[in-house]
Structure 1
Amino acid sequence: MTVVVGYVPTREGRAALAAGLAEASRRAARVVVVDNRRADPDDPDPEGTSARALDELRPQVESALGSGDDAPPYELRTLSPGSEPSEDLIAVATQAGASLVVIGLRRRTPVGKLILGSGAQRILFDAPCPVLAVKPPA
């Protein structure tokens, strides 16, 4: 079993990470956390920025999953340069044989609802497994 978490450094991303780690602990499942934000076109080293952001999460992930031989394994994956975040997350979930994908959703304005986050919609419809969509606490 594998839980794939789409992480972005926002309240929604932190909610997705917390929910994904909790699900992985409950299921004793492997966790793959994917830096799922869009790369900044002005960033000279998007992969390095992504790796540093995920390294900052490492203590939180290890704390949530526990330590020792019975702790579920985890992996932190940087964004794939040039790919659409939703496509990347779906590809990781497919490759990892995910049993669950966890994403964070943000509140949308009435106009924004007409266009639901196209990335979130794509993940909801195209993921190879169930998707848990969470929102941050109020």
Structure 2
Amino acid sequence: MTDLNHSTTASEQDAVFFARESFLGELKTLNRDYPNTGFGISLRTHSGEHYLLANARMPLPAAKSDGFPTGRRVASLENGDRFSSIEVMADSLAYETISPRAEAEILGNAIELIARIDTLTGIPAGGVPQEPQIAATGTGG
């Protein structure tokens, strides 16, 4: 039983590493296109591990279990193959000054980023495929 748990944990850590490496380009594009905005990505595995990835403008929490201290959820996916949730956050203070058109572009980029993370790490963790639910929200409320 310990080997199975170790195998699952190692597999999840591999997925997190692979996700980081595969979407750094997209995060750099967001940084370039919206230089005054903080962006963060929250990854939660099915075993309960929590990983946060962010650019330099996104405030980090004292403990990663607290999540990002500021920001709005731009888009999220629940119950993916590898991750129980993937969230893309944008720093709320800088994000309030962005036009509706730019907001729509960020939303599109965030959805593509989530889809890329989920697709590239999509080996079923528990063997039972679940229907993913992608939620996309604007920042207006």
Provide the TM-score with structure 2 as the length reference.
0.33
Highest relative contact order (Cα 8 Å, sep 6+), 1 or 2? 1
